[in-house]
Amino acid sequence: MGTMHLDISEVAQRSGLPASALRYYEEKGLIASSGRRGLRRLFDAGVLERLALIALGRTAGFSLDEIARMFGTDGQPRIDRLMLTAKADELDRTIRNLSVMRDGLRHAAVCSAPSHMACPKFRRILRAAGAGTAKARETSKKPEKVETLARGKRSRASGPA
């Protein structure tokens, strides 16, 4: 019996992704069609598991380019554990920042100060938010380039594990 093939509409229905996203993922090299049935692309049924891995990566905050690098030339996952650790550290920072923001919003909702701008705690949160935004703007592009360069050097410099 051969491998089961799904057309693009079946993959879209089962994955919950629109066909346009599937075509884009194929264009980016994240998935590959296995042929056509008329004008419709066909995919091996294994594409659903690969799409689930892509969804997991997207939920964790990885870019599509980062996710693409997590697959070997044979299509099997080849995940850089250092990249996973770095992303987990980034998520820890995001969780801490969101927790501070949540606590600040809860405080602002019940604060007895005549106005939020008169509340010392709210003003501290406001200053921190402003400083964080300015810092994010200053460094938004540089770390990714440095990280990419460092990752490239590390992979060339280190031999087989």
* CA–CA dist 105, 7 (Å, integer): 48
For 105-144, how does the pLDDT look when each residue is reduced to its tens digit (9 = 90+)? 888 888 888 888 888 888 887 787 777 665 555 555 444 4
The order of strands in the sheet holding 5-7 is: 5-7, 40-44, 35-37
Long-range contacts of 15-18 (CB under 8 A, 24+ apart): 15/48, 15/51, 15/52, 15/55, 17/51
pLDDT at 151: 41
What kind and span of H or E run contains 120? Answer: helix 120-139
For 11-52, how does the pLDDT look when each residue is reduced to its tens digit (9 = 90+)? 999 999 999 999 999 999 899 888 888 778 899 988 999 999
State the pTM of this model. 0.63
The values of phi and psi at residue 42, to 5°, are -115, 145
Residue with tokens 């004008």: 39
